Amino acid sequence: MTFEALGLTPALLHRLAELGYQTPTEIQKLAIPVVLSGKDLLASAQTGTGKTAGYALPVIQRLLSGPSVRANQTRALVLVPTRELAIQVSDNMKSYAGQNRLKVLAVYGGVKINPQMQALRSGCDILVATPGRLLDLHQCNAIGFKQLQILVLDEADRMLDLGFLPEVKRVLHLLPGKRQSLMLSATFSEDIRQLAATLLQAPEEVSVHPSNSAATEVEQWLIPVDKARKNALLITQIQQHNWQQVLVFCRTKQGADRLTKNLTAQQISAAAIHGDKSQGARIRALNDFHQGKVRVLAATDLAARGLDIKQLPVVVNLDLPHITQDYVHRIGRTGRAGVAGQAISLVCAEEFAELSAIERLIGQLIPRQPVVGFEPKQPLPESKLDLRPLKPKKPKKPKKPKIPKPE
């Protein structure tokens, strides 16, 4: 199938040819016709499948035929969970729009609000925003939604994981009821479906991969190791395999900083990105990583969400994630666009519960490859695959108010 067969205009087809796009990915084949038809969409697609273009291209096409945007208004709103994803999506939108007249802006926290308010004075056709900053801008009367035609909720699962649901609901109350709504998520949990029921009207549902499955292009294995020796093991692996570009996931900000310090001491160039770093520092670290000035990028899950790194060969889990689904997101950073990748996890005995939950989620045991000299003193228990279906979380019961005792 070609992009032309999906119903895109000659102007967009020409732009895609300039960008080197030849054939649509599976999610693009499924999503583009739905969005062009004006229907609501609920889509499941993993990172690296081309999902941004799957909604960006038809959104751009629909907006090109509409009226001009007015001051302090937007015609399409894309809600994303992190600053990095906001920047990535807006850059992609600008690239796809090319020389067309659409104005695209990204707004997010962690930077001064005044320049964003000034940029919104003339309005924008597509606004990519994190929920908190969007609400701040609306409270300042810098953005309104009278002209809003399309809402996109990207990486909805991460929105819920990070506790953004109350803010998302506040945003939804501000939007016109008559609109097209698109919701994209790497996984379909019960919570996601409940949100979709309130957000979407008779949506078309598309799914590229089985729910919660790990990318098939990624070779996965784990190395059993004691917690205290993880950093030393990682250093030996980088040196032995001569990895020139590796993304390392750490559970905490302190862990990412500590790893970076240890790597630098061994003459391995490294940088960390996490929530305590300024936006400028995070962008510099990512650019240095892209350009090969830094071999190792140490990141927390929140900071790494939305990173767009082409043909990343290796991802290492220095720590297994607290949230089981994050394992799928993490290893989805490699093995993208059909290029093979490797995902290695350094697992200690204390993380056995997290390991078991991950293996149950992906429906397979992760192969173990012990490293001589790093055999753990506290052995990692053997895994047994639990194939029982995952049960949705039960809602928390409200706490009963305390009744004071009579004096």
Average pLDDT over residues 57-86: 93
Q: Is the pLDDT of residue 389 over 70?
A: no
Distance separating alpha carbons of residues 241 and 288, to the nearest angstrom: 21
Q: Is the pLDDT of residue 194 over 60?
A: yes
What pLDDT, on the 0 to 100 scale, is given for residue 276?
83
Of 99-108, 138-147, 278-287, 397-406, which gets the smallest average pLDDT? 397-406
Q: Is the pLDDT of residue 210 over 70?
A: no
**Nearest of 276, 42, 39 to residue 154 by alpha carbon:** 42
| Strand, coil or helix: 343 | strand
Assess contact for 185 and 113: CB atoms under 8 A. Answer: no
What pLDDT, on the 0 to 100 scale, is given for residue 318?
96
Q: Is the pLDDT of residue 390 over 60?
A: no
Of 12-16, 45-49, 259-263, 389-393, which gets the smallest average pLDDT? 389-393
| Strand, coil or helix: 104 | strand
pLDDT tens digits for range 211-224: 445 555 688 999 99
Confidence of residue 275 (pLDDT cuts 50, 70, 90): confident
Residue type, 179: R
Of 64-73, 147-156, 196-205, 275-284, which gets the smallest average pLDDT? 275-284
Confidence of residue 20 (pLDDT cuts 50, 70, 90): confident
* Superfamily designation of domain 4-207: P-loop containing nucleotide triphosphate hydrolases (3.40.50.300)
pLDDT tens digits for range 239-254: 999 999 999 999 999 9
Distance separating alpha carbons of residues 183 and 152, to the nearest angstrom: 6
Average pLDDT over residues 92-115: 92
What pLDDT, on the 0 to 100 scale, is given for residue 211?
45
Q: Is the pLDDT of residue 18 over 70?
A: yes
List all residues 6 or more positions away from 97 whose beta carbon is below 8 Å from its beta carbon: 15, 60, 104
Two domains, one topology: 4-207 and 218-362: yes
Assess contact for 90 and 105: CB atoms under 8 A. Answer: yes
Q: Quick one: angle between helices 83-97 and 279-290, nearest 10?
A: 60
What pLDDT, on the 0 to 100 scale, is given for residue 104?
96
Q: What is the mean pLDDT of the chain?
A: 87
Distance separating alpha carbons of residues 155 and 264, to the nearest angstrom: 33
Q: Is the pLDDT of residue 333 over 90?
A: no
Distance separating alpha carbons of residues 30 and 214, to the nearest angstrom: 20
Confidence of residue 63 (pLDDT cuts 50, 70, 90): very high
pLDDT tens digits for range 78-99: 999 888 889 889 999 999 998 8
Q: Where are the domains of the chain?
A: 4-207, 218-362
Average pLDDT over residues 182-188: 86
Q: Is the pLDDT of residue 351 over 50?
A: yes
Residues above pLDDT 90, as percent of the chain: 60
Q: Is the pLDDT of residue 231 over 90?
A: yes
Q: Is the pLDDT of residue 396 over 50?
A: no
| Strand, coil or helix: 364 | coil
Tokens 């056995």 locate to 352
For the chain, how big is the Rg over CA atoms in Å? 22
Assess contact for 182 and 40: CB atoms under 8 A. Answer: yes
Task: List phi, psi (to 5°) of 225.
Answer: -160, 150
**Nearest of 129, 183, 135 to residue 160 by alpha carbon:** 183
Q: Is the pLDDT of residue 130 over 60?
A: yes
CB neighbour class for 172 (10 Å; exposed up to 12, middle 13-18, buried from 19): middle
**pTM of the complete model beyond 0.75:** no
Pairs from 271-277 (Cβ < 8 Å, separation ≥ 24)? 271/296, 271/297, 271/298, 272/297, 272/298, 272/299, 273/297, 273/298, 273/299, 273/300, 273/303, 273/304, 274/299, 274/300, 274/302, 274/303, 275/300, 275/302, 275/303, 277/303
What pLDDT, on the 0 to 100 scale, is given for residue 401?
54
Average pLDDT over residues 287-305: 84
The CATH number, out of the four listed (3.30.360.10, 1.10.3080.10, 3.40.30.10, 3.40.50.300), of the domain defined by the range 218-362 = 3.40.50.300
What pLDDT, on the 0 to 100 scale, is given for residue 242?
92
Return the higher-pLDDT residue of 71 and 402: 71
Question: Can you list the alpha helix ranges (DSSP code H) found in 270-405?
Answer: 279-290, 301-304, 326-331, 352-362
Of 148-157, 242-251, 333-342, which gets the smallest average pLDDT? 333-342
